[in-house]
Amino acid sequence: MQEAIILVGGKGTRLRPLTNHTPKPLLDVAGTSFIRHQVAKLMDAGVGHVVFATSYLADLFEEEFKDFAQDLDISYAVEEVPLGTGGAIRNAGRLLRGPAGAPVLILNGDILSGVDLRAVLHQHRERDADVTLHLTRVPDPRAFGLVPTDGSDRVLAFLEKPKTPEECVTDQINAGCYVFSRSVLDAIPADREVSVEQETFPQLVAQGRRVFGHTTEDYWRDLGTPLAFVHGSADLVIGNVTSPLVKQPAEALIHPTAVVDTTARVTGGSTIGPHAVIGPRVVVDRSIVGARVTVAEGAGIHESVVDHDSSIGADCLLREVVVGCHAHIGAENELPAQLRLACGIRIPSLGVRVSGTATACLTVH
C-alpha cells in the first residue's frame, strides 16, 4: 500500500484574516477545502494511507474528515511544538504502516500543482533513489532557493536565494513534493526542529546519497498569499490545472443554493458559496465569495476574497481585497488593493474612496 504525508501544520499568517480560525489547507478552493483536492490527487496516485502532519488548530482536520467515506485510511500526527518540515515528517513517520523499504510520498499542504504523482514515484523506484524531489522551472528564480541537477537528474546542491544574476545558475526550484525512502525518513532527528531544505537535503547530497530531481514545467503555484490563493482557485475552476474534484472546466462555480441575479456577471473562475446572494448588476471576477455572503446591487469584486457571512453594499468596488468573516462594508466604498479587513469589521457607506473625494476613514465596531 502506498503511503503519504501531507504537511499541514503552518499558521498561514500571510493569508490572515482568513486563517485566524481556519488552517490554510481547510480554506475553500474551487468549492471545497484545498486539502480535499490534495487527498483526491493522492488517491488517484494509488495512495491508501495518508498521515496529516498537523499543529495549528489540529482538531479541525479530524472534524473535516470525520465522515470521509472514501477508500482511504487517515491518521493524524500532532506537533505540540514547531518541528520544522523535517521534524514534522519524522513525527508523522511514526504512524506509517508500510515496510521499511517502501517509499513515502510527501506533499506541502499549500502547493497547487499539476505534477503526475505516479510519474514521480515511478522515477524514484526506477533510480533506486534515497530522495526524489519534484522540481519546477520558474521564469524568475530570484525569490527561491535553487536546485541544480546534472544530466542524469541527480541533485548537485541546494542553493540559497540568488542575490545577483550570476548566482542564477538554474531556473529549477523545490516544488514542495518529495518521495523519501523510509531509511532517510527514519534517520531525521526526532523531537527537535529540522528543516529538510536547509539541513536534511544538503547533508544527503554532501554524503553522496542518491538524491534526484523530477523536473517538470507543469502548473505550479504556492497558495500562501491572497492573490495566489484566489488565482489558484480560479485556475482549478477554469481548468488551467486539474483536480479529480472539479469535473469539468467552467467560467464560474456557483453553489446550487446560491442566488445570483440574472443581470449579474460571475466570471474568471470565480466561486460563489452556499446560500450567497448576488444582486443585480454585480460583477464578480476571478474571486471567491463565501457562504451566506450578500453582495448588493452594482458592486464589483475583482481578484478578491469575501469570507463567509459578510455583506458588501451597493456600488462598492473591491480589487485584490480580503474581507474577513462577518464583516459589513457599506454602500459606495472603494477599497484599496491589498487591503485586508478583519473579521467583524464595519465600514460605513462612503467610508473609503481611494479615487474619489470622500475622506478615507474606517470605523471598527
Cα atoms in the 13 Å half-sphere on the side-chain side of 166 = 0
End-to-end CA distance of the chain: 53
DSSP string, 250-319: -SEEE-TT-EE-TT-EEETTEEE-TT-EE-TT-EEES-EE-TT-EE-TT-EEES-EE-TT-EE-TT-EEE
User: How far apart are alpha carbons 143 and 137 in whole angstroms?
Assistant: 13
Burial of 340 (0-12, 13-18, 19+ CB in 10 A): middle
Of 283, 289, 299, 302, which is closest to residue 332 (Cα–Cα)?
Answer: 299
Query: In this structure, how many other beta carbons lie within 10 angstroms of the beta carbon of residue 301?
Result: 27
Cβ–Cβ < 8 Å for 289, 307: no
Q: Give yes or no: 161 in active site.
A: yes
In angstroms, the Cα distances linking 1 to 49, 68, 74, 205 are 7, 19, 13, 29
C-alpha cell at 351: 467610508
User: Which of the residues 11, 24, 41, 161 is marked catalytic?
Assistant: 161
Q: Which residues are catalytic?
A: 161
